[in-house]
Homo-oligomer: A and B are copies of this chain.
Amino acid sequence: MDNTETAEALVRAANQAFYDAHEHRDIDAMAQAWEQSERAVCVHPGWPILRGWAEVERSWRGILSGPGRNQFILTNLDVTVRGDVAWVTVDENLVDGAATGTIAATNVFCRDDHGAWKLTLHHGSPVMG
Which residue numbers of A lie inside 8 Å of B, CB to CB?
A: 39, 41, 43, 45-49, 51, 76, 78, 80, 82-85, 87, 89, 91, 102, 104, 106, 108, 110, 120-121, 123-128
For A120, the chain B residues whose CB sits under 8 A away are: 80
Check B49 against A76 for contact (C-beta < 8 Å).
yes
Known A-B contacts A48-B127, A76-B49; the reply to A106 vs B121 at CB < 8 A is yes
Q: A43-B125, A87-B121, A125-B123 are in contact. Are A78 and B106 (CB under 8 A)?
A: no
Given contacts A82-B85, A121-B106, contact A127 B47 (CB under 8 A): yes
Closest to A45 in B: B125
Q: A49–B89 contact, CB under 8 A?
A: yes
